[in-house]
Amino acid sequence: MGQDKKAVALLRLARRLASSAHGLTLDEMAAEFGYDRRTADRYRSDVEAIFPQLIAVQDGQEKRFHIPGGLDSFFQTPTAEELLELTKTIEELKKKGINGKARARCLEDLKDKVCAAMKKTMIKVAPDLDVLMQSEMIAVRAGGRRLDDPDTLKLIRQAILSMKALRFAYLKGSKPGEARTVTPYGVIFDHSAWLVAVEIGQNNIKTYRLDEMRSVETLKEEAARPDDFNLGDYVAESFGLFHGEQHDVVLQLLPGALDQDGQLRWQFHPNQNVEYLPDGQGAIVRFRASGMQELRWHLYTWGNNVEIVAPESQRLTMVTELTIARDRHDSVPRYLQKK
């Protein structure tokens, strides 16, 4: 690693050790920054040489390393690139309807606080930031945007932080308009925002679209999600948003789906396994998930570059759907036939 890159890596690690409330173990450093444990320990030692205030606290059989008191402002000054990414994220969220604007407002407040804290340094960074902002643009994504109430998201967050139950009237589902009292587990964002929750007295995890929730209120009733629930693991169980029966999925990506080096530059699922076939025949992708309808919808965008190997039921369903679409579009549209 070049000296410049190593200096950046050490500064990133120092910032992380200073910002972490409980510190990091060597294994956590290695996982977060992509090092092996030996490299993480060497970098920790280098950081300690630069910042002797670094302390080690015994936590069971592990040690947690932390820089108390934070770092001097000189080491904490954001770069133009970092502020650019924050600004781009804000602009992207603003295009995602009312809910996106609510999240953008939180980040704008954060950006204002950061820039205010930078004081004179901002004068040097601002011109570079302006140039980069004029050089990069976020494309408008196809499709509609749901208009979520920003206050709904705020109330959900308050309920999660205070570990309280949430009540709302839900306009969808088997009983439209009926009040639901739930334990909120988290929120998933795609084209809209979805509350992940369990109704009080039940066990099944369900999702509720925020734009279909009305009269949302946080109750005094205690309602904490289980300690063993992990939102990331829950999301990974499905190809898309909706959960159901799990399937072992096997896809063959033909050569046209790979890059010029014969590598797959696409992640279908966080837990996917990729096997490259000999003689440039493409690659096999395997993962286990639910959400087969969303998977089929996505595979349509790949044209002739992907084949469903398993489950066979999904391959046959895709053939049926394509046949129906072909038959529908083979003839002149009915609207034009009336003229």
% of the chain surpassing 70 pLDDT:
74
Burial class from Cβ neighbours inside 10 Å (0-12, 13-18, 19+) for residue 187 reads buried
C-alpha–C-alpha distance, residues 270 and 237, integer Å: 9
Q: Considering the chain, what is the average pLDDT of its residues?
A: 77
* Domain encompassing residue 181: 150-236
Residues 222 and 156 in one domain: yes
C-alpha–C-alpha distance, residues 288 and 248, integer Å: 4
Q: What angle do CA 31, 33, 34 make, to 5 degrees?
A: 65
339 within a domain of the structure (yes/no): no
Final residue before a domain boundary, out of 236, 264, 296 = 236
Final residue before a domain boundary, out of 236, 258, 286 = 236
337 within a domain of the structure (yes/no): no
CB-side exposure of 67: number of CA atoms within 13 Å?
A: 22
CB-side exposure of 233: number of CA atoms within 13 Å?
A: 4
C-alpha–C-alpha distance, residues 276 and 279, integer Å: 9
124 within a domain of the structure (yes/no): yes
What pLDDT digit, counting tens, does each position of 207-247 carry?
Answer: 888 888 899 999 999 888 888 888 877 877 766 666 667 78
What pLDDT digit, counting tens, does each position of 237-249 carry?
Answer: 766 666 667 788 8
Final residue before a domain boundary, out of 189, 205, 236 = 236
Which H or E run contains 55?
A: strand 55-59
Radius of gyration of the chain measured on its C-alpha atoms: 25
Model pTM score: 0.47
Task: Over range 2-23, report the average pLDDT.
Answer: 72
125 within a domain of the structure (yes/no): yes
**pLDDT given for residue 244 in this prediction:** 67
Residues 85 and 70 in one domain: no
Other C-beta atoms lying within 10 Å of the C-beta of residue 165: 21
Residues 32 and 101 in one domain: no
Give how far Cα 14 sits from Cα of 23, 41, 75, 146, Å. 11, 13, 9, 41
215 within a domain of the structure (yes/no): yes
